[in-house]
Amino acid sequence: MASLSKAVNTVQMTPKKLKVKRFVPLENPTNTYLTDEKGIWAWLTTVDHKKIGLMYLGAVAFFFALAGFLAIALRTELWTPAKTFIEADTYNQLFTLHGAMMVFFVLVPSIPAALGNFILPMQLGAKDVAFPRLNLASFYIYAFGAIFTFLSLANNGFDTGWTFYTPYSSDTNSAGIIWVTLGVFILGFSSILTGTNFITTIHKLRAPGISWDRLPLNVWALYATSIIQVLATPVLAITILLLAMENILDIGIFDPALGGDPVLYQHFFWFYSHPAVYIMIVPGFGIISEVITTFSKKTIFGYWAIALSSLAIAFIGFLVWGHHMFTSGQSAVATTIFSFLTFLVGIPTGIKIFNWVATLYRGSILMKTPMIYVFIFIFLFSIGGFTGIMLGALSVDIHLHDTYYVVAHFHYVMMGGTLIALLAGLHYWWPKMTGKMYNEPLAKFAAVLIFVGFNVTFLPQFIMGAQGMPRRYYNYIDQFTPFHQTSTIGSYILAVGFLVILFYLAHSLIKGQKAGPNPWNSRGLEWQSTSPPDFHNFSHTPVVIHGPYDYHQPMEEFQLGLAVDHEYGDEQDEVAAEAHASLDTETTEA
Amino acid sequence: MANHSATHPKHVHHHFVDSNQQFESAKLGMWVFLVNEILFFGGLFCAYIVFRAWYPELFTQAALELNTFWGAVNTVVLIGSSLTVAMAIRSAQNNQKRGLEINLLITILLACVFLVIKYFEYEHKLHLGIAPGSFWNPTPEIAAVLDHPKANIFFGIYYMMTAVHGLHVIIGIALMIWLYLRARKGHFNSEYYTPVEITGLYWHLVDLIWIFLFPLLYLIE
């Protein structure tokens, strides 16, 4: 392994011993990443992956609140079949903005750039990601892209739907579309930089002993995600660039009036945007794998099956984009092939679900908030997944295409999947990130509110969609009124749920109880550091001799580090190297 | 990650264990970035393939308007610059400060020559009214030869591909000026030449993409 330190290399040459000590993390760390550098300027210029992760988390939360607020406005408008309180044109702009923001500003960066940034280097025992300055740059590129989107709103806005389909998007003479597409173009670079950074970090910065078969599944998931980010995002970039040129110069590649092909745009767009939904959901799978083992106190069932199914999803995800275009007029042969390939995605996803459920079997399950979110995830995501298979079936899709059924399916996988997983991860790692606990009963209450609110909002949309209610419509016929009204009430319950979360998390920051280094008694490497962690994550170079889910091994064997002098750090219970003679070779081989 | 006080050379960032790990990471990062670049251009190549399949006669006809001679000169110029950038890396590895500086300067010069030739090609086309999109307004002589109704699409693709490539050349020049300034300050030696190496990788890709663009756009028979 390339990242082994010189110290280890010398050990390899001199007969056996790697000198290992036990490092028990401090209960009350005095020196943490939060106290290391202070002031707003230190935050804005930091290259620390933990602070950048938190800045991303703040930005994502901000955009989620904004786009969520739009969703509430949209649902309120749909209370009556005709106008309730917004004009039709505004309505079109609002649902476009809701979709574009939720996809590009919230879901894509949410887990990798916010939680992943914080947790990935810690799970690898690294001090930082491979390119810390690029990491900071990616955050500012993200902010810059956001500014462009707001500029678009100041320039007539855009009402194309988040997919920017041509020729409507290229013919509409609105400066707003140019601004927002350039904004999305810029955001893509932020995503690419994060992906590049993660791939390099995972390959080159693993601590001694973390071989590929000891990678936490969260890392495997982020690895698969990063591959998709690097391979798919540039295609979106060039598509968006061509669209902008189409708008500015009329170069005629997508515009049928000039001899171009609008369906080519759809191919380009979905070549990115279908893999992009896996950019959003696969990191969620990683979080679920982490949380489910910690709260079952049991080794994960089917480690390799889960790890490789992430890669399989990344691979198959590139071959199914045509299922968004069954009604676009692409050839019947292509349509049939895309339909069959779409069914294939169900296999690796199913493998994951079965392995998670098998992990629960005979575990000692601890029903804490993150675990409750895991159960919500499995329930909602399974519904979302199955309805996805139905939409992949050709004949069914012709009926359901562009109806509320698609809207409901997408929200079940993206909100019921990604966002619930994000909440699971946020509650799971919150003590690590802040050093504080949150109010557990309130957190459980909020989880129940969200679960109920979510289903009340989106289950009626499946029924409406199956009965033919088209998506994106401002008016609807009277027979859909009860469904729309139920859905609107559900969205209010959801909103209350999120407000409760906001309340107790803010409360936890100010008055939360001290969490201690490892409140869940996890075997994961990130929990063997103080809470909140040291600026360098660990006061020592961690040495790993077990997999991250080996709950049958004693805790002290997870608290090892290289016995090299450090400026700070708390060295206790020196575990004699002889006592772990077997681990010497194991570690150095890795 | 281990002890980073005494043995850590100045150029190694704090989060790396040693110089080698940093070099390997930078190189892998650049390769990942290059993969991403290939997919970025891949979209353009894909558009090229689609429209060439639809209007094959347009492509053969329109390609005649491109100047093969100057295109070929530019190809030689870029391949030459790839050689000099490789020699610059070699000089850095061998601690030859002077050689590194000279080779970087020649590379910058060749890249500028490429852009100047490209400028004159563009200028000539715009003069004839062969402009992208809504500026398409060919002179009667050109319109007589290029009587294809979709002729603007070929040049739309031509301008997109060469302009995006040209942008990469400009970025490459900026990077190499930065390298040159650092080289003069003696920042690079056989122990540390990572920026030279990875900029070289980038430059080879810019060259490689042109090697595909040239036959696809200029040499269609």
Better-predicted residue by pLDDT, A10 or B193: B193
Does A38 contact chain B (CB < 8 Å)? Answer: no
**Contact residues, A window 424-463, toward B, CB-based 8 Å cutoff:** none
Cβ-based contacts of B201 with chain A (< 8 Å) = none
Q: Do B5 and A207 make contact, defined as CB atoms within 8 angstroms?
A: no
H or E element, residue A223? helix A217-249
Tell me the pLDDT of chain A averaged across its residues.
90
Q: Do B32 and A231 make contact, defined as CB atoms within 8 angstroms?
A: no
Segment A506-528 shows an average pLDDT of 94
Does B36 contact chain A (CB < 8 Å)? Answer: yes
B24 vs A2, A230, A567: nearest CB = A2
Question: How does pLDDT run across A107-122, given as a tens digit for each residue?
Answer: 999 999 999 999 999 9
Please state the three-class secondary structure of chain B as a single string. CCCCCCCCCCCCCCCCCCHHHHHHHHHHHHHHHHHHHHHHHHHHHHHHHHHHHHCHHHHHHHHCCCCHHHHHHHHHHHHHHHHHHHHHHHHHHCCCHHHHHHHHHHHHHHHHHHHHHHHHHHHHHHHCCCCCHHHCCCCHHHHHHCCCCCHHHHHHHHHHHHHHHHHHHHHHHHHHHHHHHHHHCCCCCCCCCHHHHHHHHHHHHHHHHHHHHHHHHHCCC
Residue A529, SS3 per DSSP: coil
**Contact residues, A window 556-585, toward B, CB-based 8 Å cutoff:** 562, 564-567
- Structural contact between residues A5 and A208, judged by C-beta atoms closer than 8 angstroms: yes
Q: Which of A89, A71, A67, A93 is nearest to A152 (CA)?
A: A93
Q: Which amino acid is at A99?
A: G
Question: How does pLDDT run across A140-165, given as a tens digit for each residue?
Answer: 999 999 999 999 988 888 888 899 99
Domains and CATH numbers, chain A: 6-25+520-589 (no CATH), 33-511 (1.20.210.10)
pLDDT band for position B163 (cuts 50, 70, 90): very high
- Structural contact between residues B25 and A130, judged by C-beta atoms closer than 8 angstroms: yes
Q: Is the predicted pLDDT of residue A10 greater than 60, yes or no?
A: no
pLDDT, residue A454, reads: 97
B41 in a domain, yes or no? yes
Both tokens of A508, joined, read 């936890």
Q: Cα distance from B43 to chain A (closest Cα, Å)?
A: 6
- Structural contact between residues A342 and A318, judged by C-beta atoms closer than 8 angstroms: no
A197: nearest CA partner in chain B: B29
Q: Cα distance from A269 to chain B (closest Cα, Å)?
A: 10
Does A207 contact chain B (CB < 8 Å)? Answer: yes
Does B45 contact chain A (CB < 8 Å)? Answer: no
Q: Is the predicted pLDDT of residue A135 greater than 60, yes or no?
A: yes
Segment A229-242 shows an average pLDDT of 94
pLDDT, residue A173, reads: 67
Q: Cα distance from A206 to chain B (closest Cα, Å)?
A: 10
B9 in a domain, yes or no? no
- Structural contact between residues A515 and A529, judged by C-beta atoms closer than 8 angstroms: no
Percent of chain B at pLDDT > 70 equals 96
For residue A167, is the peptide bond before it cis, meaning its omega torsion is within 30 degrees of 0?
Answer: yes
Q: Do B32 and A200 make contact, defined as CB atoms within 8 angstroms?
A: yes
Q: Which of A308, A114, A314 is nearest to A228 (CA)?
A: A314
Q: Do A253 and B33 make contact, defined as CB atoms within 8 angstroms?
A: no
Cβ-based contacts of B20 with chain A (< 8 Å) = 2
Q: Is the predicted pLDDT of residue A585 greater than 50, yes or no?
A: no
What is the rounded end-to-end Cα distance, in angstroms, of chain A?
6
Residue A504 CA to residue A511 CA, distance in Å, equals: 10
B6 in a domain, yes or no? no
B13 in a domain, yes or no? no
Cβ-based contacts of A5 with chain B (< 8 Å) = 1-2, 17-18
pLDDT, residue B7, reads: 56
For residue A482, is the peptide bond before it cis, meaning its omega torsion is within 30 degrees of 0?
Answer: no
Distances A408 to A60, A464, A483 between C-alpha atoms, Å: 23, 10, 12
B50: nearest CA partner in chain A: A264
Q: Which of B191, B134, B164 is nearest to B39 (CA)?
A: B164
Provide the domain count of chain B.
Answer: 1
Q: Cα distance from A566 to chain B (closest Cα, Å)?
A: 7
Q: Which residue in this structure is represented by tokens 């069959």?
A: A340
B17 vs A5, A196, A200: nearest CB = A5
Q: Do A567 and B134 make contact, defined as CB atoms within 8 angstroms?
A: no
What CATH number corresponds to the domain at position B139?
1.20.120.80
Does A235 contact chain B (CB < 8 Å)? Answer: yes
B5 in a domain, yes or no? no
- Structural contact between residues A176 and A250, judged by C-beta atoms closer than 8 angstroms: no
Cβ-based contacts of B37 with chain A (< 8 Å) = 234
pTM: 0.92
Q: What is the ipTM of this complex?
A: 0.91
Q: Is the predicted pLDDT of residue A414 greater than 80, yes or no?
A: yes
Q: Which amino acid is at B59?
A: F
Task: Give me the residues paired with residue A22 across strands.
Answer: A560, A572
Residues written for chain A: 590
Note down the domain range covering B125: 24-218
Q: Which residue in this structure is represented by tokens 């979106």?
A: A236
B194 in a domain, yes or no? yes
B17 in a domain, yes or no? no
pLDDT band for position A17 (cuts 50, 70, 90): low
Q: Do B15 and A268 make contact, defined as CB atoms within 8 angstroms?
A: no
Candidates A238, A247, A248, A271, partner chain B, best to mutate (most B CBs within 10 A)? A238
Q: Cα distance from B175 to chain A (closest Cα, Å)?
A: 16
A206: nearest CA partner in chain B: B1
A230 vs B15, B36, B157: nearest CB = B36
Residue A87, SS3 per DSSP: coil
pLDDT, residue A587, reads: 40
pLDDT band for position A564 (cuts 50, 70, 90): low
B88 in a domain, yes or no? yes
Burial of A205 (0-12, 13-18, 19+ CB in 10 A): buried
pLDDT band for position B146 (cuts 50, 70, 90): confident
pLDDT band for position A287 (cuts 50, 70, 90): very high
